[in-house]
Chains A and B, each alone.
Chain A
Amino acid sequence: MSLKIALKNYFILFLPAITIMLFMPATSFSADIGNCLLCHKYPGISRVDEEGKLKLFYVNEDIFNNSVHAKVKCDGCHTDIKEIPHKHAIKVDCLVECHIIEPASKKKFSHKDVQTFINKSVHGVIDNKGKEKKFKEDFPTCKSCHDNPLYRPISFFKRVRPGISEQSLGRCRVCHKSEDFIYRSYNHVTTRLHPLNIAGVCAKCHNDLALVTRHGLSTKAVYSYGETFHGKAASFLDERIPNCLDCHVSKGESVHQMLTHKDPNASTSEQNKGKICTTIDCHPSASPKLAKYGVHSEFNLTQSPAQYFFTVFFIVLTGGTLLPLMVIIFLDIVRRFFPNASIGGRK
């Protein structure tokens, strides 16, 4: 048998297998080796705990398989579960070494580095002097900000539509042969949160009036962001506008290392503030003075007197003209309904 015929036969033999692999649904790549979804695929699997909190044990397989943790096996995070039926599972420690091998270092993957960044940031529970900060319950844990991050592929080509860029994938395919690998790597690299989602994450704490006041913060940050041009554009789902991280994290640093504006290394410090707006992605030709405008101005005489009086002027101007105008129109319509009506017999 010639080599050509042999190859042809192999091709015919493996064609169905290759076809099945290519068209296999995403669920088949599931990390559910322990068959945990036998029970956890049911949305009703839940209970109310002793504190009155709802505990839901449901895992939506389709959504999970489109998340950054799709390749992590269930017991990669739920390390205490070794058998079925299992007892009450302990709280997941996000810093645990899961079963994923980090491709660059070939070591077991862990989020420990993130904790290091958090400890150095304003969100760390321990202050510079090694003491515990006040109201430590308010400081975020991993799950305060993150649920399971979902793949959100962005098409960079021609900025026409969001989604997977087939042109990018084509370039991956030049070297990489595994479709699964290409799909996951591409999604992993291109995925980032939408500006509104980032604002939503920060809003959980930074729009909480009680928390903001307890910690002496000057503003309900996400609310005041929402009042600005950037915030309004974000609410119309514009992706090009800056989100919280664009200004509050120095370029190239971990987003978890958010420093106080008093820290000279912070992007928002007096020394660095001017560079925020003039970055090449935003307003490269602007003066550094642009960053001095009140990004988080609130309607507050103490915090932003100029904006306060400006707003009051416009409120009085708008309300003082339009409201009487509307009342006059309303009364005019009433008169048209009752042309002969009079008060106290007057005509």
Chain B
Amino acid sequence: MKAFLFKIYMLLFMVLVVFFIVVIWNVTFGHIVHEYYERQKVNDITALKGSNEQEVEKSTFEKVILESDERVKNYLGYKILEETRIKGHFHHIGFDIGPDKRSYCVKCHGDIPHDAVKEIRAFLNMHTFFVGCQTCHIKLEGKNKTGVFKWYNRMSGEIVDSPVKTARPGTYKAKIIPFERVNGQLQRIDNDERIAFALEYSKREKTLTEGQKSRAIKLIHKLVSKKPVQCEECHQKDNPLLPFEAIGYPKERVDSITSTEVVGMIKNYTKFYMPKMLTPEEAKKK
């Protein structure tokens, strides 16, 4: 036992020594190597400067997509406000929502997916933050209609209690998902089987033939309705599609969502833009 403990001790000591070697290398000779490469970069840019041309921005994936998720800290004395920096954005964001790890739709479409209808795309993306894609894009009608919706946690994917009363509007770390009836049992529409199928497609996409891809895409989107849920189907006093009270909205929030102010604004938008909303493809062409 004593020998075993001694070996463990020595092993840990060995790891510590390796750690120190790495640290000392980085602050001494590694520093020189880093500086050498920095100098090389300067020389390259200086050469471009001589020709009086601005360095051509390299549109690498890393530069355009990954580097754009910069973080910034605001030191306020009594607290540090850390947030995402969006270049050119004036107002502070102030908090992080976190990614939706459950949704298999966002794996391909992203979490700011709406773009086709110029006038209302920002509103639709706003809803994407707390309404699951299937809530609007899969219309369960007739005998398939259950009228059951629940909240799921964006990170864990688990069904959770309504966050509406505990957070500011739209800042929930949860989304609404519809439930369907399978063999008499209620189950969430984004069940594990569908997620597994979509993920399998995503993993094997490169190895599939064009025909196989078309079939897979068709099957993944099998339930998607041609015409999604329209704004006024929820934003109405009489029998809205989402059972607001059942999913935890207090009366004053329900009144606000279905208020004349909101409904009137939607009417104003839809009055002007309804034709395009109904035919997004046409809007795209324009």
Q: Are A152 and B76 neighbours in the complex by a CB distance under 8 Å?
A: yes
Number of A-B pairs, beta carbon distance below 8 Å: 177
Quote the shortest CB–CB distance from A163 to chain B (angstroms).
5
Tell me if A153 is interfacial: C-beta within 8 Å of chain B.
yes
- List of A residues within 8 angstroms of B32 by Cβ: 315
A315–B36 Cα distance when bound, in Å, is 15
Find out whether the CB atom of B91 lies under 8 angstroms from the CB atom of A59.
yes
CB–CB A213/B123 < 8 A:
no
Measured between beta carbons, the chain A residues less than 8 angstroms from B274 are: none
Separation in Å of the A182 CB from the closest CB of chain B?
A: 18
Interface string of B12-48 (1 = CB under 8 A from A): 0110011011001101110110010011011001101
List the B residue with the shortest CB-CB distance to A153: B77
Answer yes or no: A135 CB below 8 A from chain B CBs.
yes
Instruction: Report chain B residues within 8 Å CB of A322.
Output: 20, 24, 28
A143 to B126: give the CA distance in the assembly, Å: 25
Who on chain A is nearest to B130 by CB? A44
* Most B C-beta atoms less than 10 A away, residue of A53, A55, A326, A334: A326
> B46-72 interface mask toward A, CB cutoff 8 Å, 1 = contact, 0 = none?
101100101100000000100010001
With A44-B128, A48-B115, A147-B90: A315-B31 Cβ-Cβ less than 8 Å? yes
Count contacts on B: residues with CB < 8 A to the other chain.
Answer: 72
Write the nearest CB–CB distance from B52 to chain A, whole angstroms: 7
Query: Is B81 among interface residues, defined by CB-CB distance under 8 A?
Result: yes
Which residues of A have CB within 8 Å of B28? 315-316, 318-319, 322-323
Q: Does A47 contact B (CB under 8 A)?
A: yes
Chain A residues with CB below 8 A from B218, complex form? none
Q: Mark the stretch among B143-151, B167-175, B195-203, B242-250 that contacts chain A.
A: B167-175
- Bound state CA distance, A152 and B77, in angstroms? 7
B contact residues around A326 at 8 Å (CB): 17, 20-21, 24
The CA of A154 and the CA of B31, in the complex, are separated in Å by 38
Selected interface stretch from A116-124, A192-200, A279-287: A192-200
**Contact (A41, B168) CB under 8 Å given A209-B42, A337-B7:** yes
A323 pairs with B112, CB closer than 8 A: no
Q: Which residues of A contact B130 (CB under 8 A)?
A: 44
Minimal Cβ-Cβ distance residue in A for B171: A43
CA distance A147 to B73 in the complex (A): 12
A82 interfacial by beta-carbon distance below 8 Å: no
Across-interface contacts of B95 in A (CB, < 8 A):
43, 60
B166: A residues at CB distance < 8 A: none
Choose among A53, A200, A216, A330 the residue that contacts B21 (Cβ–Cβ < 8 A): A330
Chain B 194-218, CB within 8 Å of chain A: the 1/0 string? 0000000000000000000000000
CB neighbors of A among B234-264 (8 A): 261-262
- Which listed residue (A46, A137, A143, A319) contacts B29, Cβ 8 A? A319
Q: B94's contact among A46, A62, A135, A323, by CB below 8 Å, is which?
A: A62
Indicate whether A197 sits within 8 Å of B170 (C-beta atoms), given known contacts A45-B123, A323-B24: no
**Interface size class of chain A, counting residues whose CB lies under 8 Å from the partner chain:** 35 or more
- B residues within 8 A CB of A58? 91, 93
Considering only CB atoms, which chain A residue lies closest to B21 in the complex? A326
Interface: A134 (CB within 8 A) = yes
Q: Which of A133-171 contact B (CB under 8 A)?
A: 134-135, 137, 143, 146-148, 150-154, 161-163
Given the known interface contacts A63-B92, A92-B90, A154-B77, the answer about A213 and B46 at a Cβ–Cβ threshold of 8 Å is yes
Docked-complex contact B265 and A84, CB < 8 angstroms: yes
CB distance from B216 to the nearest CB of A (A): 26
Question: Which B residues touch A200, using CB under 8 A?
Answer: 72-73
Complex CA–CA separation, A147 to B28 (angstroms): 38
Could you tell me the distance between the alpha carbons of A81 and B78 in the complex, rounded to whole angstroms? Answer: 36
Which listed residue, B17, B42, B127, touches A213 by the CB 8 Å rule? B42
Instruction: Say if the beta carbon of B155 comes within 8 Å of chain A.
Output: no
CA distance A67 to B97 in the complex (A): 22
B89 within 8 A of A: yes
Q: Which residue of chain A has its CB nearest to the CB of B55? A: A210
Give the docked Cα–Cα distance between A53 and B67 (Å). Answer: 12
Would B13 and A196 count as touching, CB distance under 8 A? no
Q: Which 4 A-B pairs have the closest CB atoms?
A: A44-B129, A162-B77, A319-B28, A194-B75
9 contacts between A and B (CB under 8 A): A41-B168, A42-B170, A60-B95, A64-B91, A146-B90, A153-B78, A162-B77, A197-B75, A239-B77
Given contacts A45-B126, A216-B49, A323-B28, 14 further A-B contacts (CB under 8 A): A47-B114, A55-B122, A60-B95, A84-B265, A84-B268, A148-B90, A150-B81, A153-B77, A196-B75, A200-B72, A213-B45, A299-B35, A322-B20, A337-B10
